[in-house]
A and B are shown apart, each in its own frame.
Chain A
Amino acid sequence: MKYRCGRCGGIIDSKDLEILPGIRCSYCGYRVLYKVRSPTIKRVKAI
């Protein structure tokens, strides 16, 4: 699973997050991260 930093825009893997204590961008240390949408196609029923 990948996350995008809210400040520098860097893409961080969830495994990288486990290296540092707390949830922080491994490039700039910013604490706001956004989940990146999976590149796979998502199938949804229109109900």
Chain B
Amino acid sequence: MEVSILEYSDKYLKALVRNVPLPLINALRRTIIAEVPTMAIDEVLFIDNTSALYDEIIAHRLGLIPLKTDLDRYKMPEEVGCKDITQCREVAVRLILDVEAKDDIRVVYSGDLKSEDPEITPVSDKIPIVILSKGQKIALEAYARLGRGREHIKWSPVSVSVFKYLPKIEVNLELCTYCGECVKACPRKIFSIEGDNIKIGNIINCILCRACEEACPTKAITVSWESDSFVFYIESTGALPSKRIIVEAFKILKNKLLQLQKKVMEATK
């Protein structure tokens, strides 16, 4: 397997992965979406809510706010046998929202949530939750805990986890007339003609739409893909850095495979 990182930051990661079977990279993609744990609000205790929205709608919106996650300090409720997360300090974090629109209409934002743990806070302070008109108020306690995307998508650490085949474009120079039709047709501007030469730019940008193939009057272009090379892309919700998401996904995948190996060994003894 050969891996080269194309783009990287805490929020996203794009890599070119060569010589890897499709099921393996798909297993990684699915593990990232459904198995890597993150923090999200799971229980909400409403003390007061005179806003126009039902408690359930506000609770749902709170659940979907991505929270910065510390995987090293918190445990999954099942690991410690916690039945009620409002009672387990090692499992859950309490966030308090107490807002009143005294003088004018007011938008309640994620930044109004006051967390008891300064490291577990909303990824962004500017996520709107509800609009309060003058005199309305909302007071609640929200409890966030670790969970996995397979249970509810709010616990998924990524907004995007995808891969595509690495495109392969072949131009038959004996048939090519350098007419420039492919340059006009390509939506990703991959082709360029310089004199008597056709140049193919960054192949990773190709979306395999085959517009160039259709536009070519002499059928000199063939678009295909490499069956064991992929462009892999993840975009974090901000709950975890992209690097940590990949590391955790590999750890989980490895543990699952080891468990499978153990079961097979036990069964075939």
Q: How far is the CA of A37 from the CA of B43 in the complex (A)?
A: 20
| B59, CB-defined interface residue at 8 Å | yes
Q: Is the interface of B mostly helix, strand, loop or mixed?
A: strand
- Contacting pair B56 A44 (CB below 8 A): yes
Across the interface, which residues of B come within 8 angstroms of A19, CB to CB? none
Report whether B46 and A42 are in contact in the complex, using a CB–CB cutoff of 8 Å.
yes
A35 to B247, CA, bound (A): 52
Within 8 A of B (CB), among A1-47: 37, 41-47
Q: Is B49 within 8 A of A47, CB to CB? A: no
Specify the chain B residue showing the minimal Cβ separation from A43: B45
Judge whether B13 is part of the interface by a CB distance below 8 angstroms: no
Q: Is the CB of A44 within 8 A of B47?
A: no
B42 touches A46 (CB 8 A): yes
Interface centre among A37, A43, A46 (most CB of B within 10 A): A46
Is there a chain A Cβ closer than 8 Å to B16's Cβ? no
B50 proximity list for chain A (CB < 8 A): 37
Q: Which residue of B lies closest to A44 (CB)?
A: B59
In the assembly, what is the distance between CA of A26 and CA of B211, in Å?
76
The residues in B between 37 and 51 inclusive whose CB is less than 8 angstroms from any CB of A are 40-50
Are B49 and A46 within 8 A (Cβ)?
Answer: no
B49 near A45 with CB under 8 A, answer no
Contact, CB under 8 Å: B44 / A37: no
What are 6 A-B contacts defined by CB distance under 8 Å? A41-B46, A44-B46, A44-B56, A46-B41, A46-B44, A47-B59
Q: Which 7 A-B pairs have the closest CB atoms?
A: A46-B63, A44-B59, A42-B46, A46-B59, A46-B41, A44-B44, A41-B45
Known: A43-B43, A44-B45, A46-B42. 20 other contacts (CB 8 A): A37-B48, A37-B50, A41-B46, A43-B45, A44-B43, A44-B44, A44-B55, A44-B56, A44-B59, A45-B42, A46-B40, A46-B41, A46-B44, A46-B60, A46-B63, A46-B142, A46-B154, A47-B59, A47-B63, A47-B152
